[in-house]
Amino acid sequence: MPTFYVTTPIYYVNDRPHIGHCYTTLLADVIARFHRLKGDDVLMLTGTDEHAEKVITRATEAGVTPQEWADRNAQAFREAFEFMGFSQDDFVRTSEDRHKTRASGYIQKLVDSGDIYLGDYEGWYDPGQEEYVTESVAKAHDYTSPVSGKPLEKRNEKNYFFRLSAFEERLRTYIEDHPRFVLPEARRNEVLGRLRQGLQDVPVSRAVRDADGADWGIRMPNDPDHRVYVWIEALCNYLTVVDTDDRRKYWPASIHLLAKDILWFHAVVWPAMLMALDEPLPGCVYAHAYFVAEGRKMSKSLGNFIEIDQLRAYGDRFSVDAVRWYLATQGPLGSTDADFAHSNFVEVYNAELANGLGNCASRVVNMIHKYFDGELPEARDATVHAGVDWPSLTGGHVEQAEVCFSRADLHGAGHQGLAIVTAIDGYINTTEPFRLAKRIEGPDDPGRGDLALILFNCAEALRIAAMLLLPFMPSKAAAVLEMLGASAPGDGGLNEHAKWRGPQGLKPGTPVAKGPGLFMRAEADEPAPTA
């Protein structure tokens, strides 16, 4: 069984879960669910990044230990992800021993190999924030603090450095030879562009100044006076979690999903570390762009972050699956940002979910009830009917969905399922079963066979559409399958699940349930739900 390992970044535990965290994790979830449907042995990983110094600060302010603070906030992420219906196989926290001990081991290995060494760091220090700012940030603010506006100080300190520069050539060659290693392409260009300008070694540790929170974070294994920078140990999570006997099979990760702000670490620093550790590189580093809110960039100063509570409000009003569908298919998978706009949400909801999938399911089920007493009719085996070759039409969309997924094209993949729905609608309109039903005079009327065939075909096609939509809307697609009396996908893989009249195909005689509408149409001008 092929393995498939998909990761999200681990999220800064001081954050409150918002649309950004949910979006990246949703992508991972949809992809993971698709691969499980395919029959792959999947590991989906998400988690929290907990060792930042500000965690100590916030914990102290709250009067609790860093661990207690982190526990509390990690729980908020878990709850948000549960609400979103995410199916992560593991949730890693960097404060866990399994992470700390192995990450520490990797650092030691790099020290031993000489890829990490003690050197001098010089940079712009912001005394108010107690942190260094990058040259470009310093320059952008005219060498004053971006927070307080007070002048920055040039400071020196002893740090351990990772010998990133040594990997410049290998990295460039690797990325050039593997066009799908960094995606989307615009991001790959950025990385290659920066690589051409040369690489400098990067600091990976900082001297511990005082006893506060002394047991928080990971110490340099060879020098306990230094604490490993969070970002570098955080990257290690992808490996620490699978560096066990039973999980080694998952490495290298198939795809690391992340937002564009942390591309550099994932596309350059992390691969270089893996090279230094003699580990194979992940298949793909995919950096998506951001969601903006109603056309405006989300920011703390505007206070317009779409937080989990607002997504909950949308979920309560339109269903969680509608939120998942909107985010996954309308999201910023490319290099440019996408807009979470209420009017757009309602448009997509109505057009694709209510008028599309929901309405189609409703008309098919309704006719089976009306004309066959709610029992799926026996149909002759004529799969090409009224100019529609159902096995190849549905098979084609299944195949296309697989292609789309292999490119992380969730918009395209999702629309394969909808395309089948559109085909069903068109088929109903051309064959007009509702008219046929009126012409039928008795149980022996030969038209009855056609009517049965039409409705069976509709139901079977709908089943396959639902199968393809399952990764996007696990509960709504499952509801469609249940309505049709189809079995939930078991073992066997997508080719079996989605095969026309295959092993999991609908069985004549099965009762078809007339449930409540899947997605009821919304008013275009109804106000946005609020948290």
Residues at the contact surface with RNA, assessed by CB under 7 A: 134-137, 164, 186, 189-190, 193-194, 197-200, 202, 260-261, 264, 334-336, 338-339, 344, 347-348, 350-351, 354-359, 361-363, 366-367, 370, 422, 425-426, 428-429, 433-435, 438, 517-521, 524
CB nearer to RNA: give 358 or 474.
Answer: 358
| Nearest-approach distance from CB 250 to RNA, in angstroms | 29
| Contact yes or no for 158/120 (Cβ under 8 A) | yes
**SS3 annotation, 320-332:** HHHHHHHHHHHCC
Give me the least distance between CB of 462 and RNA, in Å please: 12
229 within 8 A of 264, measured Cβ to Cβ: no
Q: Which is nearer to RNA, 101 or 156 (CB)?
A: 156
Q: From the CB of 422, what's the least distance to RNA, in Å?
A: 5
Q: Which is nearer to RNA, 186 or 277 (CB)?
A: 186
Q: How far is residue 63 from each of residues 74, 129, 156, 366, measured CA to CA in Å? A: 17, 20, 33, 60
Residues 24 and 408: beta-carbon distance below 8 Å: no
State which residue, 242 or 292, has the beta carbon closest to RNA.
292
Residue with tokens 């520069």: 165
Q: What are residue 337's phi and psi, to 5 degrees?
A: -70, 155
The counts of H helices and E strands in the chain are: 21, 17
Report the chain's terminal Cα–Cα distance, integer Å: 44
Minimal distance, residue 189 CB to RNA, in Å: 4
Alpha carbon distance 265, 232 (integer Å): 8
CA–CA distances in Å: residue 149 to residues 136, 203, 299: 16, 26, 19
Distances from the Cα of 43 to the Cα of 46, 88, 98, 270, 472, angstroms: 10, 8, 17, 20, 18
Q: Which is nearer to RNA, 79 or 389 (CB)?
A: 389
3-state SS class at 156: strand
Beta carbon nearer to RNA, 71 or 347: 347
Q: How far is the CB of 350 from RNA (least distance, A)?
A: 6
Sign (positive or negative) of CA dihedral 20, 25, 28, 31: negative
Q: Per the structure block, which two tokens stand in for 292? A: 């903006």
How does DSSP classify residue 87?
A: -
In angstroms, give the least distance from the CB of 270 to RNA. Answer: 13
CA distance 414 to 333: 13
- Matching residue, tokens 């460039």: 172
Alpha carbons 285 and 257: distance in angstroms, whole number: 6
Nearer residue to RNA within complex by CB, 87 or 165: 165
Smallest separation (angstroms) from RNA to the CB of 65: 31
User: What are the tokens at 290?
Assistant: 């951001």
Sign of the four-CA dihedral 465, 470, 472, 476: positive
Neighbours of 335 (CB within 10 A): 17
Nearer to RNA, 42 or 353 (CB): 353
Which distant-in-sequence residues (6+ apart) come within 8 Å of 337 by Cβ?
289, 290, 291, 292, 297
Residue 176: closest CA among 195, 161, 157, 163: 195
- The rounded distance, in Å, linking the Cα atoms of 355 and 418 is 11
- The minimum distance between CB 435 and RNA, in angstroms, equals 7
Minimum distance between the CB of residue 171 and RNA, rounded to whole angstroms? 11
Q: Which two tokens stand for residue 475?
A: 């509960």
* C-alpha pair distances (Å), 122 with each of 133, 158, 201, 203, 218: 11, 9, 12, 10, 23
**Closest distance of CB 336 from RNA, Å:** 5
In the complex, minimum distance from the CB of residue 191 to RNA, in angstroms, rounded to a whole number: 8
Question: Minimum distance between the CB of residue 109 and RNA, rounded to whole angstroms?
Answer: 22
